[in-house]
Amino acid sequence: MKAVVLLSGGLDSSTVLYQAKALGLECYAISFDYQQRHRRELESAKAIASSAGVVEHQQVSFDLRAWGGSALTDSKIDLPQDRSVTEMAENIPVTYVPARNTIFLSFALAYAETIGADCVYIGVNALDYSGYPDCRPDYIEAMQSVFRLGTKQGREGIAIAIVTPLINLRKTEIIQLGNQLGVPWEKTWSCYAGEDLACGVCDSCQLRLAAFAQLGIPDPLSYAQSVI
Protein backbone atom coordinates (compact mmCIF):
# COMPACT_ATOMS: atom_id res chain seq x y z
CA MET A 1 0.00 0.00 0.00
CA LYS A 2 1.24 3.45 -0.95
CA ALA A 3 0.56 6.60 1.09
CA VAL A 4 1.18 10.23 0.29
CA VAL A 5 2.05 12.05 3.53
CA LEU A 6 1.74 15.82 3.91
CA LEU A 7 4.93 16.80 5.71
CA SER A 8 5.62 20.29 7.06
CA GLY A 9 8.44 19.22 9.35
CA GLY A 10 6.49 20.00 12.52
CA LEU A 11 5.51 17.72 15.41
CA ASP A 12 2.20 16.63 13.97
CA SER A 13 3.11 15.77 10.39
CA SER A 14 6.34 14.08 11.51
CA THR A 15 4.36 11.88 13.90
CA VAL A 16 1.90 11.03 11.13
CA LEU A 17 4.73 10.03 8.80
CA TYR A 18 6.30 7.80 11.45
CA GLN A 19 2.91 6.21 12.08
CA ALA A 20 2.32 5.51 8.39
CA LYS A 21 5.80 3.96 8.21
CA ALA A 22 5.11 1.85 11.32
CA LEU A 23 1.98 0.50 9.62
CA GLY A 24 4.19 -0.74 6.78
CA LEU A 25 3.02 1.75 4.15
CA GLU A 26 5.31 2.87 1.33
CA CYS A 27 5.47 6.58 2.09
CA TYR A 28 5.72 9.42 -0.44
CA ALA A 29 6.17 12.75 1.34
CA ILE A 30 5.04 16.10 -0.03
CA SER A 31 6.01 19.52 1.33
CA PHE A 32 5.16 23.06 0.26
CA ASP A 33 7.29 26.13 -0.15
CA TYR A 34 4.64 28.86 -0.29
CA GLN A 35 7.08 31.57 0.73
CA GLN A 36 5.90 31.17 4.29
CA ARG A 37 7.68 33.22 6.92
CA HIS A 38 8.99 29.98 8.42
CA ARG A 39 10.27 28.40 5.21
CA ARG A 40 13.09 26.96 7.24
CA GLU A 41 10.62 24.25 8.32
CA LEU A 42 11.35 22.73 4.89
CA GLU A 43 14.84 21.79 6.08
CA SER A 44 13.21 19.88 8.91
CA ALA A 45 10.79 18.26 6.48
CA LYS A 46 13.77 17.05 4.45
CA ALA A 47 15.55 15.70 7.52
CA ILE A 48 12.44 13.91 8.79
CA ALA A 49 11.64 12.45 5.36
CA SER A 50 15.15 11.14 5.18
CA SER A 51 15.14 9.71 8.74
CA ALA A 52 11.82 8.00 8.11
CA GLY A 53 13.10 6.53 4.82
CA VAL A 54 10.41 7.71 2.42
CA VAL A 55 10.38 6.40 -1.15
CA GLU A 56 10.30 9.96 -2.53
CA HIS A 57 9.94 13.49 -1.19
CA GLN A 58 8.32 16.08 -3.46
CA GLN A 59 8.50 19.77 -2.73
CA VAL A 60 5.95 21.98 -4.50
CA SER A 61 6.69 25.70 -4.76
CA PHE A 62 4.31 28.62 -5.26
CA ASP A 63 4.00 32.07 -3.78
CA LEU A 64 1.08 32.87 -1.50
CA ARG A 65 2.51 36.31 -0.67
CA ALA A 66 0.92 37.63 -3.90
CA TRP A 67 -2.30 38.30 -2.07
CA GLY A 68 -1.21 37.91 1.58
CA GLY A 69 -4.06 37.71 4.05
CA SER A 70 -2.15 35.89 6.80
CA ALA A 71 0.58 36.63 9.32
CA LEU A 72 2.43 33.64 7.82
CA THR A 73 2.57 35.08 4.30
CA ASP A 74 2.54 38.84 4.93
CA SER A 75 5.40 40.26 6.97
CA LYS A 76 3.35 43.40 7.65
CA ILE A 77 0.99 41.38 9.88
CA ASP A 78 2.58 40.71 13.28
CA LEU A 79 2.68 37.22 14.72
CA PRO A 80 0.71 36.95 17.98
CA GLN A 81 3.01 36.48 20.96
CA ASP A 82 2.74 35.18 24.52
CA ARG A 83 -0.85 34.03 24.21
CA SER A 84 -2.24 31.34 26.46
CA VAL A 85 -3.58 28.16 24.88
CA THR A 86 -7.09 29.31 25.91
CA GLU A 87 -6.67 32.65 24.13
CA MET A 88 -5.50 30.87 20.97
CA ALA A 89 -8.67 28.77 20.83
CA GLU A 90 -11.04 31.73 21.00
CA ASN A 91 -10.98 33.00 17.41
CA ILE A 92 -9.61 32.14 13.99
CA PRO A 93 -6.06 33.45 14.41
CA VAL A 94 -4.21 35.82 12.05
CA THR A 95 -1.87 32.92 11.26
CA TYR A 96 -4.77 31.30 9.41
CA VAL A 97 -3.77 31.08 5.73
CA PRO A 98 -6.90 31.17 3.53
CA ALA A 99 -7.58 27.76 1.97
CA ARG A 100 -4.12 26.44 2.80
CA ASN A 101 -5.11 22.87 3.61
CA THR A 102 -7.37 22.82 0.56
CA ILE A 103 -4.41 23.78 -1.62
CA PHE A 104 -2.14 21.25 0.13
CA LEU A 105 -4.67 18.43 -0.13
CA SER A 106 -5.30 19.24 -3.81
CA PHE A 107 -1.64 18.81 -4.68
CA ALA A 108 -1.49 15.67 -2.52
CA LEU A 109 -4.48 14.33 -4.44
CA ALA A 110 -2.82 15.05 -7.80
CA TYR A 111 0.37 13.33 -6.63
CA ALA A 112 -1.53 10.39 -5.13
CA GLU A 113 -3.57 9.79 -8.25
CA THR A 114 -0.49 9.93 -10.47
CA ILE A 115 1.53 7.41 -8.45
CA GLY A 116 -1.50 5.22 -7.71
CA ALA A 117 -1.48 5.78 -3.94
CA ASP A 118 -4.25 4.39 -1.76
CA CYS A 119 -4.39 7.19 0.79
CA VAL A 120 -3.25 10.65 1.83
CA TYR A 121 -2.14 11.20 5.43
CA ILE A 122 -2.56 14.64 6.97
CA GLY A 123 -1.77 15.65 10.54
CA VAL A 124 -4.70 17.99 11.11
CA ASN A 125 -5.88 18.40 14.65
CA ALA A 126 -9.25 19.76 15.69
CA LEU A 127 -8.56 20.13 19.41
CA ASP A 128 -5.60 22.36 20.22
CA TYR A 129 -5.47 25.52 18.14
CA SER A 130 -8.92 24.64 16.90
CA GLY A 131 -9.47 28.02 15.29
CA TYR A 132 -8.47 26.83 11.82
CA PRO A 133 -11.64 25.93 9.87
CA ASP A 134 -9.75 23.61 7.55
CA CYS A 135 -8.68 21.28 10.35
CA ARG A 136 -12.14 20.12 11.38
CA PRO A 137 -13.79 16.74 10.69
CA ASP A 138 -16.67 18.09 8.56
CA TYR A 139 -14.18 19.89 6.32
CA ILE A 140 -12.16 16.69 5.89
CA GLU A 141 -15.36 14.83 4.95
CA ALA A 142 -16.08 17.43 2.28
CA MET A 143 -12.55 17.02 0.88
CA GLN A 144 -13.08 13.26 0.91
CA SER A 145 -16.05 13.75 -1.45
CA VAL A 146 -13.83 15.86 -3.69
CA PHE A 147 -11.22 13.07 -3.69
CA ARG A 148 -13.95 10.64 -4.75
CA LEU A 149 -15.67 12.73 -7.40
CA GLY A 150 -12.79 14.78 -8.78
CA THR A 151 -10.52 11.97 -9.93
CA LYS A 152 -10.47 9.19 -12.47
CA GLN A 153 -9.61 6.72 -9.71
CA GLY A 154 -12.50 7.88 -7.50
CA ARG A 155 -14.97 7.69 -10.38
CA GLU A 156 -13.90 4.09 -10.93
CA GLY A 157 -14.95 3.32 -7.36
CA ILE A 158 -11.60 3.33 -5.60
CA ALA A 159 -11.34 6.74 -3.96
CA ILE A 160 -8.08 7.78 -2.37
CA ALA A 161 -8.75 7.92 1.38
CA ILE A 162 -7.86 10.91 3.54
CA VAL A 163 -6.42 9.63 6.83
CA THR A 164 -6.26 11.94 9.85
CA PRO A 165 -4.79 9.96 12.75
CA LEU A 166 -4.37 13.02 15.00
CA ILE A 167 -7.68 14.75 14.49
CA ASN A 168 -8.98 14.00 17.99
CA LEU A 169 -5.72 14.01 19.91
CA ARG A 170 -4.39 16.65 22.29
CA LYS A 171 -0.88 17.96 21.61
CA THR A 172 0.35 16.02 24.66
CA GLU A 173 -1.12 12.81 23.24
CA ILE A 174 0.57 13.50 19.89
CA ILE A 175 3.92 13.82 21.64
CA GLN A 176 3.30 10.60 23.55
CA LEU A 177 2.45 8.84 20.29
CA GLY A 178 5.50 10.31 18.56
CA ASN A 179 7.70 9.16 21.43
CA GLN A 180 6.45 5.60 21.05
CA LEU A 181 7.13 5.78 17.31
CA GLY A 182 10.63 7.21 17.79
CA VAL A 183 10.11 10.57 16.08
CA PRO A 184 13.40 12.51 16.28
CA TRP A 185 11.99 15.72 17.82
CA GLU A 186 15.34 17.46 17.50
CA LYS A 187 14.90 17.41 13.71
CA THR A 188 11.41 18.94 13.77
CA TRP A 189 10.51 22.62 13.55
CA SER A 190 7.35 24.35 14.83
CA CYS A 191 8.17 28.06 15.18
CA TYR A 192 6.26 30.46 12.93
CA ALA A 193 8.92 33.18 13.10
CA GLY A 194 11.48 31.34 10.99
CA GLU A 195 14.65 32.69 12.63
CA ASP A 196 17.75 30.65 13.47
CA LEU A 197 16.41 29.73 16.89
CA ALA A 198 12.76 28.97 17.65
CA CYS A 199 11.27 32.14 19.15
CA GLY A 200 9.48 30.48 22.07
CA VAL A 201 6.65 33.02 22.09
CA CYS A 202 4.58 32.54 18.90
CA ASP A 203 1.42 30.45 19.18
CA SER A 204 3.10 27.41 17.68
CA CYS A 205 6.10 27.52 20.05
CA GLN A 206 3.77 28.14 23.01
CA LEU A 207 1.62 25.10 22.21
CA ARG A 208 4.67 22.91 21.72
CA LEU A 209 6.44 24.10 24.88
CA ALA A 210 3.27 23.79 26.98
CA ALA A 211 2.72 20.21 25.84
CA PHE A 212 6.32 19.09 26.46
CA ALA A 213 6.26 20.83 29.87
CA GLN A 214 2.96 19.19 30.83
CA LEU A 215 4.43 15.77 30.04
CA GLY A 216 7.69 16.54 31.86
CA ILE A 217 9.62 15.62 28.72
CA PRO A 218 12.47 17.92 27.64
CA ASP A 219 12.04 19.56 24.21
CA PRO A 220 15.41 19.09 22.49
CA LEU A 221 15.11 22.36 20.49
CA SER A 222 16.86 25.56 21.58
CA TYR A 223 14.68 28.60 22.08
CA ALA A 224 15.54 32.30 21.90
CA GLN A 225 13.26 32.80 24.89
CA SER A 226 10.84 30.60 26.71
CA VAL A 227 7.98 31.81 28.86
CA ILE A 228 6.61 28.42 29.91
Residues at the site binding a copy of itself, with contacts judged by CB under 8 A? 58, 60-64, 66-69, 92, 96-103, 105-107, 109-111, 113-115, 133-134, 136, 138-139, 142-143, 145-146, 148-152, 154-155
Q: 68 or 184, CB closer to a copy of itself?
A: 68
Q: Using CA atoms, how far apart are residues 108 and 202, in angstroms rounded to an integer?
A: 28
DSSP characters for 43-94? HHHHHHHHHHT-SEEEEEE--GGGT--STTT-TTSPPPBS--HHHHHHS--T
Shortest reach from residue 15's CB to a copy of itself, in Å: 23
Contact yes or no for 104/61 (Cβ under 8 A): no
Q: 25 or 64, CB closer to a copy of itself?
A: 64
Q: 14 or 101, CB closer to a copy of itself?
A: 101
Shortest reach from residue 132's CB to a copy of itself, in Å: 9
Contact yes or no for 208/219 (Cβ under 8 A): yes
Shortest reach from residue 150's CB to a copy of itself, in Å: 4
Shortest reach from residue 111's CB to a copy of itself, in Å: 6
The rounded Cα 195 to chain-centroid distance in angstroms is: 19
